[in-house]
Chains A and B, each alone.
Chain A
Amino acid sequence: MDVEALRVRDLVRQVVTEVAPEELPLLAGLAGFDDATAVQRLGGEVRRREPLGFGLGEVAALVTPVVWLAVDQATQQIVGTWVQNRVARTGAALRRVFRRSASEPVVIPPLTREQLVLVQRSVLTMAAQRGLEPERAAVIADAVVTRLVLAEPEPEAAVVAEVEPDGPPELLAPRTPVRPSGSALPDAPVQPNEFTRRDGVPEGPEQPDEPTRPAGD
């Protein structure tokens, strides 16, 4: 299943780039966090009044946390049980304490129609909870679903993948070397189509938010 997966953070970047590009600086900042940390921090309590803080800060209706949390939540429901989820989170917390390597990025498996509906509903619910207007919530949910649908594998590729689960990844998506692009800053806006790849083969050390470039380019 992992072979066909799309990373949550990639999906978030695509959606944010499309519907709220002004939030890309936040994604640049979140790039340094592993998924578990990012989800935990994005879902944490709002600290309005700390000593020597401004104290009048209102809560901005941001798209990034809505998409990330909603998709993460839906993915957890689809691919794992609640217990597994908690174990993973605890593991992440322990890793942080002992300065171990970051947790693996959360990936989204190919989804059925029902599962897509679940994701859409999750986004809408999260958006409502976070104070986004319904119209905007709908746009975000559509963007998420669209990205997920576009990320679905071609039927033939899926068949191949089914027959030869360990087959060469090039059949699904070209292997994309992960490399920092000198001029392009890590957080520079990226083109949506950059994130339609499939990570068919195990990659080297995880560089979650570094821009990737299709091999064909």
Chain B
Amino acid sequence: MVVLSSGAPGAGAAEQPADAAPLDERVLVAGTTLRFVLILALLAAASVSMIPRTVWHLLASPEKANLEVACYLAAGIDPSVSANASFVQSRRQPAALEECTARFAQDFTLVSVGVGLVALAAASAVYRLLPLWRTRRTRVVPLDIVDVHGRLRPLLDELVTVAGLNRTPRFVVDPASRTTGAVAFGRPRRPVIRLDGGLVVTADGEQERFRAVVLHELAHLHHKDIGITYATVALWRVFLVLVLLPWTAVGLDVLLLRGSAEVRGMYAPFNTHAQLLGGLLVLAVYLSRLEILRHREIYADLMAARWGASAQPWEDGAARQHAGEGWRRPFVRFAALWRTHPAPALRRASLADPKVLFTLRALPLLLTGLAADILVWHLNALLYEFLWPGAVLVAGLVVGIGGVALWRAVLYALRAGRTVPSGWSVGLWLGLGVVVGELTGPRAAMNQWLPAHPEALLILVAALVLLMTWTTQNAEWWLRARREHPPGPAMLAGLAVPALAYASVQYWWRSVGEVLTDGWPFTTAGVLASYGLPGLPPSDLGPLWHVVAVLGLLPGTLTGAGSLWWAQVLLWALPVLALVAASRPGGEGARGGGQSPVAGLAGGLTGGIACSAGLAVALAWLRDAELGDSGAVGPLRLAQMMVPVLVICAAMALTAAVVAALTDSGWLTTGLMAAGITALLGVVAAHILVRANAGSGSSAVAWSLSREAHLPYAVALGTPVAGLAAFVGRGVGLAGRGVALLVRRVTTRRKGGPHPDARPAPVEERPLRPKWRRAVRLAAVGAVVTWIGATALAVDVSAASGRVSRPALVPDRPAPEPSAAVSRLQHQAWAAAGGLERIEALRTVELRYSAAFTAVGEATDDAGFLQAMDRVTDACGAMDQATRRAGAYLDVPSAAGQRIWTRVLTRHREMTDTCRALAMRPDPTTAKAADITHQNAIDSVDAMSYWLAEKGAIRPK
């Protein structure tokens, strides 16, 4: 297993000496509950997603199901092209497509809910029955039957008292078991400990072992392990049998057996991805569960030792176990992944130093990223309204699990005097898990074998790397500054911030970002038009408008409160709060690994001044620029919003990069803090400048803070951009220092001076004077209050009318032409899903009209004539209705076919008109006109039928 112990360059070892006593593993939460929650959420979401699919495939009528699929083909959707192209096609005639699919839709929601409830009831039953099954009469016997000498019961009572348990467990014995172990199970209110026969036999001779084993099991009860463990076991077993197995069978049927080979092949990529994702789900849940259990074992060992258990059983276990050497080592490590218990040597070592509980390991992080990504896929089954709660759930779990691991690692490093981990590697492993899930599952590639642009997934990886690095630096700062305080509350705040920030990234990704895995599906004109402002898109699309269009797609596009853009504010507001804490007398954060308050403030102020200057120049340029057609306010208005956003984001990025390059420890948090101050000053400057500009010029636009989008854009886009720029700045700074060191070394060698390896003595940082401390604190509090107030105002009015906002962003790049085979299928589908039916309906009303028309000619008296005319009138109405119904149907999925179909519709509309004229004024002229249009209509329908037959869409008569 890869161990992530690489230190951040320059992070440096903690200054305080290593503590003599091993770190108490309970100093921070273990994080295993969150991982269990992830597993349970994954199983629940997968069930919600898989059960309806299985039920549908089992119960749905194949004919109707095929016709529903045919609707999509009839709408011109090509299954072999990218998801974006399909989406574009589906948006061309949404009403017709919806009507078509609704006609053939088969709803089994009630059955699915019923199956879900049965599965839930089954899981509950398994959870309750498992302990009964394990304590059945042919398996175990009560302790008192075996305790023939009466010595075990008092000993066990004593151990229970030592453990201080509220509830005394029931002890049973498996007399047939030869091992000297025990196991805890049952339910939290009815715990059971089963002693193995071998343990009972050796209880007298090896009492230390007996005590250690029982205390270990009591520790599991103390840690409340049995409830969550066996709940997971029950849910997992029921999920496997009632959900996954039927789902897999149905999936394989769809993939390999059902329908024609041609259609199966067409949808093979999607169905294969779905099956692979099912396999990955099993792997992720299974390995995660075992990994968590291994962790819990070490916690139980430590607690048992704390209660006085002898270390001898662990020593013996380690002595018996031979670690794999040489070429066997990878196999031994691989085998260890599938075990419920850690290696004995590790358990023995952990008794002395539980560093394994604080070490960052790659596999759990990879599995977390993977499980979270699968969770996202299954959450898609939920309604779109649940997008933000889903994003918060996923982000909370991913960042919570990675973040708790990081906080523990940082704490251990500080207490043990070791190198503080960097954090970026945690983000990398989490991100790698996400990427594996995306590439294996159908989310990114949909019905392709691989997404066209998988590099877009790096956005998610970058976000995780950024947030995990931030978490590390923030954790280090708080743990240093508040050494005497319990770290729990600080950790909670320190994890909530990146979790919300990642939730906002997730929200953007699922709303807009994920289409990028398919390439750039937008056109500049389409994006600009989507703002709905007069004069957009302008006739001349220069570079400025391309930039504005791209800018409008990045995070910040979505400025509703539910998009959580405001969470980005917290990424630098929390470091500012840390600054306040640092300026307090006795605060330790100003020294050592924390962010530098001076660098942050100075950098922010400088950046703000530069930003204001840039804004003044940009707005002055805008005032004189010719934007769009004269008289249209849209281009100017959009430019006045986007150009300041661009300037503010650039200033934030530059500030963060420079500050990160010049700062040693806490470079990211300090850089973000400076970028935040820059943004704050920039927004204020933009507001003032735009208001000043608004009063002058012919195209004056009224502005107010509540109607501007600077703030959401600047924060939601500028903060992550500044964070990434800080990474670049950090890299440049390190490279610069490396070059400087090299130059100094060469120069010193030439001069024959002392060896430059001798590092210069650290310069002791002068503490700030009290009045400066107060000033810093005031400034920081002011900045945070201003920012939060402004943010709250922006959130509050995010739905206000009059803002520059976009209702919906739709990819609009057209799809390529389909192949001949797909085209034939599309035409067949068009005919089958309703085209032929409408043609026949037109024919029927034509005949009805003919009959009525003939009846008019053959009428011999007035009454007969009037009756025949009534029939004509009815036929006109039916013709009108049939024509309208045909017109509302999907277009023919080819230009040639659509031309003929349009002619059919036109001819029938003409026929309807002449028919009505005849009904109103029956005379030879109207009769002749009606006869001509009738013939034309018949000809057009025949032509359509011939064309479809020729295309292979229908069988020729």
- Identify the A interface with B (CB < 8 A): 22-33, 37-38, 41-42, 44, 46-60, 62, 65, 96, 130, 185-188
Q: Which of B160-212 contact A (CB under 8 A)?
A: 173, 175-185, 196-202, 204-205
- Check B178–A62 contact: CB distance below 8 A: yes
Closest 9 CB pairs of A and B: A57-B181, A29-B175, A55-B341, A60-B198, A41-B176, A56-B317, A53-B183, A57-B179, A54-B181
The answer to whether B884 has its CB under 8 Å from any CB of chain A is: no
Q: Which residues of A contact B200 (CB under 8 A)?
A: 25-26
The answer to whether B220 has its CB under 8 Å from any CB of chain A is: yes
A31's nearest neighbour on chain B, judged by CB, is B145
Given A49-B339, A59-B179, 13 more pairs with CB closer than 8 A = A25-B175, A26-B201, A28-B145, A29-B146, A29-B197, A38-B176, A42-B176, A46-B178, A51-B293, A54-B213, A55-B347, A56-B181, A59-B178
The answer to whether B625 has its CB under 8 Å from any CB of chain A is: no
- Check B226–A29 contact: CB distance below 8 A: no
A121 to B936 alpha-carbon distance, docked (Å): 104
A47 to B297 alpha-carbon distance, docked (Å): 16
- Identify the B interface with A (CB < 8 A): 137-139, 141, 145-149, 173, 175-185, 196-202, 204-205, 213, 216-217, 220, 225-226, 229, 233, 293, 296-297, 300, 313-314, 316-317, 320, 339-341, 344, 347
- Check B229–A52 contact: CB distance below 8 A: yes
- Check B216–A54 contact: CB distance below 8 A: yes
- Check A58–B180 contact: CB distance below 8 A: yes
- Check A52–B225 contact: CB distance below 8 A: yes
A25 to B175 alpha-carbon distance, docked (Å): 8
- Check B198–A185 contact: CB distance below 8 A: no
Question: Shortest distance in angstroms between A39's beta carbon and chain B's nearest beta carbon?
Answer: 9
Q: Which residues of A contact B180 (CB under 8 A)?
A: 57-60
Question: Shortest distance in angstroms between A115's beta carbon and chain B's nearest beta carbon?
Answer: 27
Contacts A25-B147, A51-B233; is A60 near B181 (CB within 8 Å)? no
A52 to B184 alpha-carbon distance, docked (Å): 6
CB-contact partner of A32 in B141, B149, B184, B316, under 8 A: B141
- Check A48–B179 contact: CB distance below 8 A: yes
Contacts A57-B180, A57-B181, A57-B196; is A26 near B175 (CB within 8 Å)? yes
Question: Shortest distance in angstroms between A106's beta carbon and chain B's nearest beta carbon?
Answer: 16
Q: Which residues of A contact B205 (CB under 8 A)?
A: 22
A188 to B148 alpha-carbon distance, docked (Å): 7
Question: Shortest distance in angstroms between B483's beta carbon and chain A's nearest beta carbon?
Answer: 35
Question: Shortest distance in angstroms between A114's beta carbon and chain B's nearest beta carbon?
Answer: 31
Question: Shortest distance in angstroms between A95's beta carbon and chain B's nearest beta carbon?
Answer: 10
A204 to B198 alpha-carbon distance, docked (Å): 33
Question: Shortest distance in angstroms between B154's beta carbon and chain A's nearest beta carbon?
Answer: 15
- Check A49–B147 contact: CB distance below 8 A: no
A73 to B177 alpha-carbon distance, docked (Å): 19
Q: Which residues of A contact B202 (CB under 8 A)?
A: 60
* A-B pairs with beta carbons under 8 Å apart, 15 shown: A22-B204, A25-B149, A25-B200, A26-B201, A29-B146, A29-B197, A33-B176, A46-B177, A53-B217, A53-B340, A57-B181, A58-B316, A60-B197, A60-B198, A96-B138
A47 to B340 alpha-carbon distance, docked (Å): 12
- Check B201–A55 contact: CB distance below 8 A: no
Q: Which residues of B contact A24 (CB under 8 A)?
A: 148
A99's nearest neighbour on chain B, judged by CB, is B137
Q: Which residues of A contact B296 (CB under 8 A)?
A: 52
A46 to B181 alpha-carbon distance, docked (Å): 11
B175's nearest neighbour on chain A, judged by CB, is A29
- Check B183–A52 contact: CB distance below 8 A: yes
- Check A29–B145 contact: CB distance below 8 A: yes
Question: Shortest distance in angstroms between A143's beta carbon and chain B's nearest beta carbon?
Answer: 18
- Check B138–A23 contact: CB distance below 8 A: no
Q: Which residues of B contact A62 (CB under 8 A)?
A: 178, 197-198, 201
Question: Shortest distance in angstroms between A202's beta carbon and chain B's nearest beta carbon?
Answer: 25
Q: Which residues of A contact B341 (CB under 8 A)?
A: 49, 53, 55-56
Q: Which residues of B contact A187 (CB under 8 A)?
A: 145-146, 148
CB-contact partner of A185 in B148, B300, B317, under 8 A: B148
Name the residue in B138, B145, B178 with the highest tally of chain A Cβ atoms < 10 Å from its Cβ: B178
A42's nearest neighbour on chain B, judged by CB, is B176
